[in-house]
Every structure is written in structure tokens, then in C-alpha cells.
Chain A
Amino acid sequence: MKRRNFLTLGAGAAASAALAACGTSGPAGGGGTAKAGEASYWFLSGPPGESVRTGAVERFNKANPNSPIKPTAFQNDAYKDKLKTALGAGQPPTIIWGWGGGGLKSYVDGGQVEDLTDWFGQNAAVKDRLFPASFGPATINGKIYAMPAETVQPIVLFYNKQVFADNNLTPPQSWGEIMDLVPKFNAKGIAPFSLGGQSRWTNMMWLEFLFDRIGGPSVFGDVFEGKANAWSNPLAIDALTKIQDLIKADGFVKGFSSITADSNADQALLYKGKAAMMLHGSWSYGIIQAQGGSFIKDGKLGYMNFPGVDGGKGDPNDTVGNAGQYLSISSKASAEQKDIAKKFFTSLLDDTEQSDWIKTGGVPIIKGADAKLASSPDADFLKFVYGVASNAKVFAQSWDQALSPTAAETLLSNISKLFTQSIGPQQFADNMNAVIGK
């Protein structure tokens, strides 16, 4: 289960486990290929995204009654399994919703999705209104295979202002200050950082920032480009050592490796004051707003970009996360369906959809969307997110999305071992070097 579907709780886990247990088939019937003159579109279910996506399709269908789009929504894990089965069976939907990066590359390698480079060349207006950074994960081998869409979701360092104020402490401005804060909070019986460590990608966010702040974007860039032994870079080893130092100093809440992000227990630790800080995606804001009572209304939620590491080469303005969501067109679709899909792409992120996303606490990936943010009750946070996204020289993609599914799985399992300290930095680097370029 992934972070994007943050409001899905245990029921989702049950469904996905049951689904996994009995094989691969998702909801039966209705293969991806739609009727002639109709394009199919699969995406994620669940609030808040589902209603916005459905709304966009409905407006399109009203404007184009002769070439409608048939939407189907799936729960996160079910979607991944169903899509995989559909692609394997040669029956994918016309429009494939995804996360770009390594997953998209595996579709490209399988010849499953359309090359949209020429189309974007002819429709510069569509391309130019979007954040340039959002095209990174859509670009494979220099060609664009997906339409960036929806919202930008950087990873943010959240903190509980109340806890800091009560203990006369100030939020950290550097890695050194983080390490200084750890014993101070522990002495008060408050966990310095909340972390849903069982989900593994939650731990990964820490490494993403440490790698960037210590060594700049090129350290992971080398891994991404498949350079041999890229994980053994001394700067990478330094970052891996630093994270284990933080773990050894009890920087993370007790029992973090059994907490899942899906349960939102990590969020609860922060807004209940049991933990002082939490590194998490910007979507956490919506979760805390929904579940944390008046925590946000009372102005207790603080947020900042991850601080720099003293002497590090990275720019503290850089960020990581999801630069957008990505819509691809199946190469198996008919010419007519492909045209419908492209027409649909031009209709995306109209004014209505933009304000729908803003209402959910998201920042649309549109240049100048900040002008629309002011009227929102969450304007402060939204402007902060817009600022982070637009000021970042490097908006790195989450590692598990950037890498191929094969390398990502090895990465996550080794991260889990690194955080339980069953392997050290050197062993981690050796294990990961073995799957570079795979």
C-alpha cells in the first residue's frame, strides 16, 4: 500500500491481503478495452482524489457526448495487481493512471504505452502551463510517455509547535541541531521523531533527504544512471551512517519498525504530542486535518523543508516527493481511443479541477496556481508547498518510484534491515550495488 491513498485504513489492508492470497485477479469482468468510440480510464479510488478525478471525467463526457470516457476506480494495491494482470493479458485500459519513473519505464520497456513526445511538441500550450519539474518522471530515455497531472506532493518536515513551545525548544535548522534535540526530547519522555517504519518507504524518505543534503543530487543520480558501485560513494556511506547514528540515539519513536503508515498511527503520535517531529509527505496535512481534531485550527502544526547537513554539498532548497501523477495512453488502444485520450488530456486541470484539488489540500502542478491558493482556508500550508515546489532546483522523485520495480523492492527490503540495524552501511551498499541497473 502506498502513501497516495492515505485515507484508506485497515479495510484496504484486508482487501489487499485477501486479494493477494487468492492470486492476482481483481474485480472480474469488463476488461480494459472499451467499446469502439469510447475510451477507458482506470485510476485510484478513495478520498480525496477519486471525486476530483471522476468530476474531470464527467465534465469531459458532458462536453463530448459522442466520445465518452468510461472511468473505473480501484483501491491502491488492487489497482496495481489488476493493472499488471490487464497488461499481461493484453487488455489494458486506454488511459493508465500511474506514478511515472521506474514503473513507467517498465511499461515502456514492454512496449505498452504511447510515446507522447511529438504530441507535446505540437501542443506546446498543454506542456507550458505545467511545472517543468513534473516532466522528469514522465520522461524515459529522453522521450515523454505520460501526461503529468493532478498535484505536487513534496516531503515535508512537520512538527508539533505546542511540544516545542512547552519545552522551550526551537525547530532544527541543521542536522547537528536535530541530533542535539534528540536527547532533550527523550529526557522529557517525548519521541523526537514519529515514523511508520514497517511501511519501509517512510524510512526511505530520510535517506532521500540525507543523500541530497550531504552529497547533492548526483549521489542517487549515479545509482539511477546505473553507474557501478554507486552506493559505495563515501558520501552515501556517510548518509547511511548518519541515519544509523540517529536510530542508535533513539531518534525515532519506540517500536517504529512495527508501525505502518496506513494506520496513520505515525500521524497520531505527532498531533497527540507523543512525538515532536515527523518527516512525511505533504498529504499528511489532509490526514491530520481529518483526524487530528482542532490541531491544525489551533495553529499547532508546524512545517518546514528538511534542514541542511553541516558541510553538505546539497542545496537545502531541494526537495523530494511526487512531482505529479501521470497518465499514459496504452499502445494497444485503437486510434480513435487514443484521440479521445489526448483530447481528454488537454481538458485536464481546468479551473474547476484546480479548485477541487485546492479544496482537498493539494497544490495543482500548474504554473501560477499560487494565485488561486489565497482564498483557501489552508492558504498558509498550500503557499508553503507551492513555494517548496517552485523554489526547488531539484525536485527528486521518490526512489522506489524512480527505480525499476525489481531494484525498488531490493532497496526497500535493505532499508528495512538498515533501520533495524541488522546490516550496517557497508553491507547495505554492497547489497544495493548488486542490483544497480536492474
Chain B
Amino acid sequence: MTIAPPVVRTAPPGSNNAGGSGSVSWMAWPALIAFTLFGVVPLLGVLVLSFSSWTGQTTDIPFSGLDSWRTVLADPDLPHALWVTFLIMALSWLVQTPLSILIGVFLAARHRYRAVLAVLYFIPLLLSQAAISITYKALLDPNFGLGAGLGFPFLQQDWLGDGTLALGVVVFVVSWQFIPFHSLIYQGGVRQIPASMYEAAQIDGAGRIRQFFSITLPQLKYTIITSSTLMVVGSLTFFDLIWVLTAGGPGGATQALAVDMYQRGFKANLMGPASAIAVILVLVGLLLALGLRRLGGRDQADSQLEGA
């Protein structure tokens, strides 16, 4: 379901002859063909469907002009779903980014015990989202879950039955699963920072905290942008997790765009409006990805390493 925008690196003119003789543009063909077949063509299909009133059950597709778009745009559920999607996106970014950077920096140092910890930290990433959701759902069950079993009063909340708490649980589970992934990215980013910078800072008398804020963070700028793009665009497509945990409930409190799209398309048999929401999802994703690239400025191709 994920329709992530292609990461296109625009090479400076004249530099595409790396390696010497002849053009290597043919190397782009396999990826381009695959992307067209499995990315662009279905996308166009969805765009076409958004102008239909197809139920998904007939072999012919009746077209109805802008009806689906009118229905979707006039529906108060759409701004609500957009708001929920945005909340999940913003909150999960706010939780994940600082923690991922800290864990990434911690794991970047080369100690054996940290390598062992790194392996443990990555376990959540290996589990399927549906399995994680089922597990958390069982743990948070108000009558047979952790809270009831252990008798801790603070665990005995109506975790998935209260709108605000349910949204918090979704953000927590998302973060729990994806912090390891983003830590991995930051770990790689930190390891690329030349040690000489830290040595120079040490000679100048900078402490660890000062080094972190003056060297590590600025040097991680592009890593942060990469990681944020993945988080933000990825959060648009959260579906399985929400579907299994709350099914969009209680009372629509966790009804994100992707859930709304599924319910309209496959539960209510309204493929037209569902396709219109899919198109909106793609547009929002593209805009966010472009916006985040802008944040990085125009010098992305330049090296941030000293001496380059």
C-alpha cells in the first residue's frame, strides 16, 4: 500500500559518465520500468477510479464525473481523518526523533556491550505489525490484560476504549516498533562523522554535551531529514496497526486516512470515494516529502564532511 515517492538524486550535468566510456543511463531502466508498472500505472488507475461509482463487484465500471470527489470533500469525516493522521504523524515524529538520535549516538560508539544492546534493541523491528498489534491489544485488555493481571492501578486504564488514550497507544506502539529502525539510521550517520572533529573540539575544551549539540547534531542534519521523511510519509500509510488495535475506534477517534479509505472501499463498497482518498493520500505524501527536501536546502549533493 505504501506509495513512497521515488528518491531521485539529481546529478549535476556532465557527471553521469562516471566510470568513463559511454552512457550508463540504461542502468536506470529496470528501476524505471518497475516503478512505472507497479507505481505509476496503479496510481493512474486509482485516479481514474476516483471519477467512478464502482462498487468493486461488477465487471463494468460506471463513471460518474466528480460525484465521488464531491462526496468525499463535503464529508465531515475527511477533515477529521486528516486531523487524526496529522496528529499521529506529528506525535510519533516528536516521540521517535529525539529517542532515535540518542539511541543512535549511544550505539555508534564501538563497545562490545553496546553491540549486544544494539541487537536487543532491534528486535521489535523484526516482528510483523499485525503480530505486535494483537499482542498489545491483549496486554491492554481492560479485563484480562496486564493491568487486571498485575493489579497496578495506573495500568488499569481503558487504553483502547478512550479516544485520547487510544491515540496515545497507537503513537506508542508505532514508536516502539520504529525507533530501532531510525536508531540504525542515526547510528550510521554518527559513525560517518570524522573523529578528527571531536578531537579538535576536545582540544578546544568542549565537553560531551557541547560536542553533541555543536558537532553531532549539525552533522546529522541530512540524516534527520532522511529519517523524518521516512517517518512522516510512512505514518500516512499506517493501516494494519490501527486496524487490528482499534479498527478506527472508539467512535472514530483513531480513524486515520488509510483506515477511512479501507472502510469506504472494502466495507462500504464505495470504490470511487475510496480512490479519491487514496489520491489525497498520495498528494499529501508527495507535498510532505518535497517540503522536507526543501528544508535541507539546495546543497544536498554537497558533502558535509570536512575537507571534501
Size band of the interface chain B makes with A: 35 or more
Interface set, chain B 120-162, CB cutoff 8 A to A: 128-131, 133-134, 137-138, 140-144, 158-161
The residue that A268 contacts in the complex, of B140, B144, B266, B268, with Cβ under 8 A, is B144
Contact A258 B250 (CB under 8 A): yes
CB distance from A22 to the nearest CB of B (A): 7
Known: A274-B143, A420-B250. A258 touches B158 (CB 8 A): yes
A259 to B270 alpha-carbon distance, docked (Å): 28
Interface set, chain A 88-115, CB cutoff 8 A to B: 88-90, 106-107, 110-112
Contact B55 A255 (CB under 8 A): no
Interface set, chain A 50-105, CB cutoff 8 A to B: 81, 84-85, 87-90
A18 to B239 alpha-carbon distance, docked (Å): 10
Contact A405 B1 (CB under 8 A): no
Main secondary structure of the interface of A (DSSP, over half): helix
CB distance from A410 to the nearest CB of B (A): 7
Known: A20-B266, A88-B56, A258-B160. A198 touches B246 (CB 8 A): yes
CB distance from A201 to the nearest CB of B (A): 12
CB distance from B159 to the nearest CB of A (A): 7
Known: A84-B266, A405-B269, A410-B268. A13 touches B161 (CB 8 A): no
The residue that A89 contacts in the complex, of B59, B137, B250, B264, with Cβ under 8 A, is B59
Known: A88-B56, A255-B161. A409 touches B264 (CB 8 A): yes
Cβ contacts under 8 Å, A111 to chain B: 58
Contact B142 A258 (CB under 8 A): yes
The residue that B252 contacts in the complex, of A85, A255, A265, A422, with Cβ under 8 A, is A422
Q: Is A419 an interface residue (CB 8 A)?
A: yes
Contact A259 B141 (CB under 8 A): yes
CB distance from A13 to the nearest CB of B (A): 6
Q: Is B244 an interface residue (CB 8 A)?
A: yes
Contact B142 A259 (CB under 8 A): yes
Contact B59 A420 (CB under 8 A): no
Known: A14-B134, A198-B160, A417-B252. A259 touches B240 (CB 8 A): no
Known: A10-B134, A18-B240, A405-B269. A259 touches B252 (CB 8 A): no
Cβ contacts under 8 Å, B160 to chain A: 198, 255, 257-258
A23 to B163 alpha-carbon distance, docked (Å): 28
Q: Is A24 an interface residue (CB 8 A)?
A: yes
Q: Is A256 an interface residue (CB 8 A)?
A: yes
CB distance from B135 to the nearest CB of A (A): 9
Select the residue from A84, A107, A268, A408 with max chain B CB neighbours within 10 A.
A84
Contact A265 B144 (CB under 8 A): yes
Contact A107 B57 (CB under 8 A): yes
Known: A23-B1, A258-B161, A406-B269. A17 touches B240 (CB 8 A): yes
Give how many A residues have a beta carbon under 8 Å from the other chain's beta carbons: 52
A330 to B238 alpha-carbon distance, docked (Å): 36
Contact B161 A256 (CB under 8 A): yes
Cβ contacts under 8 Å, A406 to chain B: 268-270
Contact A112 B240 (CB under 8 A): no
Select the residue from B1, B134, B138, B250 with max chain A CB neighbours within 10 A.
B250
Cβ contacts under 8 Å, A420 to chain B: 161, 163, 249-251, 253
Known: A110-B55, A255-B161, A416-B251. A20 touches B246 (CB 8 A): no
Q: Is B243 an interface residue (CB 8 A)?
A: yes
Q: Is B281 an interface residue (CB 8 A)?
A: no
Contact B250 A21 (CB under 8 A): no
Contact B240 A253 (CB under 8 A): no
A257 to B245 alpha-carbon distance, docked (Å): 12
Select the residue from A90, A110, A274, A421 with max chain B CB neighbours within 10 A.
A110
Cβ contacts under 8 Å, B262 to chain A: 20
Contact A413 B263 (CB under 8 A): yes
Select the residue from B58, B143, B159, B246 with max chain A CB neighbours within 10 A.
B143
Q: Is A184 an interface residue (CB 8 A)?
A: no
Known: A253-B143, A257-B250, A420-B249. A87 touches B130 (CB 8 A): no
A259 to B109 alpha-carbon distance, docked (Å): 45
Interface set, chain A 235-283, CB cutoff 8 A to B: 253-260, 263, 265, 268-269, 274
A17 to B166 alpha-carbon distance, docked (Å): 19
Known: A84-B57, A198-B160, A416-B249. A259 touches B244 (CB 8 A): no
Q: Is B298 an interface residue (CB 8 A)?
A: no
The residue that B267 contacts in the complex, of A106, A260, A265, A409, with Cβ under 8 A, is A409
The residue that B158 contacts in the complex, of A13, A24, A254, A274, with Cβ under 8 A, is A254
Cβ contacts under 8 Å, A10 to chain B: 134, 138
A85 to B247 alpha-carbon distance, docked (Å): 22
Q: Is A197 an interface residue (CB 8 A)?
A: yes
Cβ contacts under 8 Å, B158 to chain A: 254-255, 257-258
A10 to B252 alpha-carbon distance, docked (Å): 22
Contact B130 A14 (CB under 8 A): yes
Q: Quick one: closest A residue to B241, CB to CB? A: A17
Q: Mark B229-245, 1 if CB is under 8 A from A, else 0.
A: 00000000001100110
A257 to B143 alpha-carbon distance, docked (Å): 12
Q: Can you pick out 14 interface pairs between chain A and chain B where the beta carbons lie within 8 Å of each other?
A: A20-B239, A21-B130, A87-B57, A88-B56, A256-B161, A257-B160, A257-B249, A258-B158, A258-B160, A258-B249, A259-B161, A409-B268, A420-B251, A422-B163
For the complex of A and B, 7 pairs with smallest distance between CB atoms: A255-B142, A258-B160, A420-B251, A409-B268, A258-B161, A257-B161, A257-B250
- A-B contact sample (6 more), CB < 8 A, given A17-B133, A110-B55, A258-B159: A10-B138, A84-B57, A106-B55, A257-B161, A406-B269, A420-B249
